[in-house]
């Protein structure tokens, strides 16, 4: 079939297998072009491995350090009349390329929050690899079934305490408008913490520790975002930010445990990027569009793979080890948060309208990056040709 992009709101409902493979190859090429990461990881578990920062982490570990990788994710395969999700195609492409390079790569597709997937992962690692030296926790899900209680928790993207009104942009239609978001209720806050907080990361690390599958000196990292003041009401001080505070709490607990055997756990605060998750957050896409214009102009723009390669090479596995901020976090959002950049964002923000959107921001670059998440707009891919949508997982 011929596959074209079909965008509905903040999601593209189609994905192109060959395009996803080309995107994965772009990321591999970047990592290999940077050279080997000395003293990098050798046995890596990535929880949330099929898109975004999780996929970039897996590619960096494999093609930057020659690591064996196990990827856990929850993606939909293709079926009659329906394409697979981009994460499905991404993972197949990664696995093919890793194995062709002589690297171990195995995958588990299922609910990473469940006890069953945790046990299947442990069984696989015990059988094939032995103790892991890096665990990357990069889950992004709108809901979670608590494995002990069976309660389904659903996260919300809302402010806390009062309604929030600000500019936003419909990235598909290019319309700048004002959005008002009502504050979250206490149950909604609790549910968001249950989904996006640190409890599941703790459960994964406890399960691996209990199975004897954490190597001496093992590290674990989870990802977060802080961002500028213009996004704080909906992010840092909103339901997501409260959940991320709980992720930091979990990092401290896990770190205390890993340090007993010379390891460590921490949060990496990453740059604002176009991802399936960030596209769903009001206000944030407009901020990203302004940010991209500024950072591309000054030569400091990075995407997912540039961020993760830099995290591994200059922080996680740097000779002096990671550098932490006052909150014990690693910051690879440093280029984004430079005062000069943020002052320019503040100056541009109130001037943006539907009419000047294309000139005042990099909305074109935002759309390009958004479509690339789904395998569209990649050089060398013939999008007019027939594509095979039914690709089995390896």
Query: What integer is the mean pLDDT of 353-369?
Result: 96
The pLDDT of residue 247? 97
On whether the pTM is more than 0.75, the answer is yes
Mean pLDDT of 23-38: 97
User: pLDDT-based confidence at 10, cuts 50/70/90?
Assistant: confident
Proportion of the chain above pLDDT 90, given as a percent: 89
pLDDT, tens digit, for every residue of 234-270? 889 999 999 999 999 999 999 999 999 999 999 999 9
Which of the four CATH numbers 3.40.50.720, 3.30.70.270, 3.40.50.2300, 3.50.50.60 does domain 7-161+187-282+302-333 have? Answer: 3.40.50.720
The structural domains of the chain, with segments of one domain joined by +, span 7-161+187-282+302-333
What is the structure's pLDDT at 203? Answer: 98
Catalytic residue among 235, 287, 292, 317: 235
Residue 276: band (very low, low, confident or very high) from pLDDT cuts 50, 70, 90: confident
Instruction: Tell me the pLDDT tens digit for each residue of 84-103.
Output: 999 999 999 999 999 999 99
pLDDT interval class at 280 (50, 70, 90): confident
User: Quick check: 187 pLDDT over 80?
Assistant: yes
Find the mean pLDDT for residues 15-28: 97
* pLDDT score for 391: 87
Task: State the chain's mean pLDDT as an integer.
Answer: 95
Quote the pLDDT of residue 267.
98
Q: Is 235 marked active-site?
A: yes
384, pLDDT greater than 80: yes
Residues 292-320, mean pLDDT to the nearest whole number: 96
What CA–CA distances, in Å, run from 183 to 141, 156, 158, 319?
21, 10, 6, 45
Strand 143-145 relative to strand 264-269, pairing: unpaired
Distance CA 125, CA 131 (A): 7
């Amino acid at each position: 079939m011929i596959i074209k992009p079909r965008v509905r709101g903040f999601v593209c409902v189609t994905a192109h297998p060959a395009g996803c493979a080309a995107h994965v190859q772009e990321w591999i090429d970047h990592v290999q072009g940077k050279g080997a990461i000395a003293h990098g990881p050798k046995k890596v578990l990535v929880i949330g491995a099929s898109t975004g920062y999780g996929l970039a982490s897996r590619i960096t570990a494999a093609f930057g350090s020659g690591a064996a990788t196990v990827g856990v994710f929850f993606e939909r395969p293709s079926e009659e009349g329906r394409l697979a999700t981009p994460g499905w195609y991404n993972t197949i492409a990664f696995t093919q390329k890793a194995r062709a390079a002589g690297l171990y790569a195995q995958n588990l597709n299922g609910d990473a929050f469940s006890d069953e997937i945790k046990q299947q992962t442990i069984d696989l690692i015990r059988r094939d690899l032995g103790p892991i030296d890096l665990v990357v926790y990069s889950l992004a899900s709108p809901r979670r079934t608590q494995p002990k209680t069976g309660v389904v928790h659903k996260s919300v993207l809302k402010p806390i305490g009062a309604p929030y009104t600000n500019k936003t942009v419909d990235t598909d239609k290019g319309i700048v408008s004002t959005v008002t978001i009502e504050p979250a209720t206490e149950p909604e806050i609790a549910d968001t913490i249950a989904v996006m907080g640190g409890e599941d990361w703790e459960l994964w690390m406890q399960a691996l520790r209990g199975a004897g599958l954490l190597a001496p000196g093992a590290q674990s990292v989870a990802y977060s975002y802080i961002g500028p003041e213009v996004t704080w009401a909906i992010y840092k001080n909103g339901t997501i930010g409260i959940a991320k505070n709980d992720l930091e709490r979990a990092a401290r607990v896990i770190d205390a445990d890993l340090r007993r055997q010379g390891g460590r756990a921490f949060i990496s605060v990453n740059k604002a990027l176009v991802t399936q998750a960030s596209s769903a957050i009001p206000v944030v896409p407009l901020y990203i569009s302004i940010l991209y214009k500024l950072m591309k102009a000054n030569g400091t723009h990075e995407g997912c793979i540039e961020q993760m390669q830099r995290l591994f090479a200059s922080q996680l596995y740097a000779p002096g080890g990671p550098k932490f901020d006052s909150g014990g976090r690693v910051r690879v959002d440093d280029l984004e948060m430079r005062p000069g950049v943020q002052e320019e964002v503040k100056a541009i923000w109130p001037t943006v309208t539907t009419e000047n959107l294309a000139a005042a921001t990099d909305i074109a670059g935002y759309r390009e990056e958004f479509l690339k998440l789904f395998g569209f707009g990649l050089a060398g891919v013939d999008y007019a040709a027939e594509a095979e949508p039914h690709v089995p997982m390896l």
